[in-house]
Amino acid sequence: MSSCVLVIDDSAAIREQVVRTLKDVGLFEEYCEARDGLEGFKTLIESKADLVICDVDMPRMDGYKFLQLVASRPELLGLPIIMLTGMMDFNSKIRGLEQGASDYLTKPFDSGELVARVKVQLKIKSLQDELKKANEQLKRLTNIDHLTNLFNRRYLTEVLESEFFRARRNRENLSLVIIDIDYFKNVNDTYGHQNGDVVLASVAGLAQKQLRAYDSAARYGGEEFVLVLPGTSLEGGKMVAERLRQAVLEFAFPSPMEDLTLTISAGVATFPSPSIDNIDSLFRQADEALYRAKQTGRNRVELMDV
136 catalytic? Reply is no
Q: Which residues, in sequence order, are bridge partners of residue 28?
A: 2
How big is the chain by its Cα radius of gyration, in Å?
A: 29
Q: What does the alpha-carbon distance between residue 72 and residue 57 come to, in Å, rounded to a whole number?
A: 21
CA 15 to chain centre: 37
Query: What is the full per-residue pLDDT of the chain (306 aa) written as tens digits?
Result: 568 999 999 999 999 999 999 999 999 999 999 999 999 999 999 888 999 999 999 988 999 999 999 999 998 988 999 999 876 667 778 888 889 999 999 888 899 999 999 999 999 999 988 888 888 777 777 899 989 999 999 999 999 999 999 999 999 999 999 999 999 999 999 999 999 999 999 999 999 999 999 999 999 989 999 999 999 999 999 999 999 999 999 999 999 999 999 999 999 999 999 999 999 999 999 999 999 999 999 999 999 987
66: number of Cβ within 10 Å: 29
The pTM score is 0.62
Q: What does the alpha-carbon distance between residue 206 and residue 43 come to, in Å, rounded to a whole number?
A: 44
Structural domains in the chain, sorted by start = 2-141 (3.40.50.2300), 153-303 (3.30.70.270)
Q: What does the alpha-carbon distance between residue 2 and residue 84 come to, in Å, rounded to a whole number?
A: 21
Return the exposure string of 174-202: e unless at least 16 CB atoms fall within 10 Å of the residue's CB, then b: bbbbbbbbbebeebeeebeeebbebbbbb
Asked if residues 155 and 218 have their Cβ atoms less than 8 Å apart, the reply is yes
Residues 6+ apart with CB under 8 A from 266: 177, 178, 179, 180, 241, 244, 245, 289, 290, 293, 300, 301, 302
Give me the catalytic one of 113, 163, 172, 223. Answer: 223
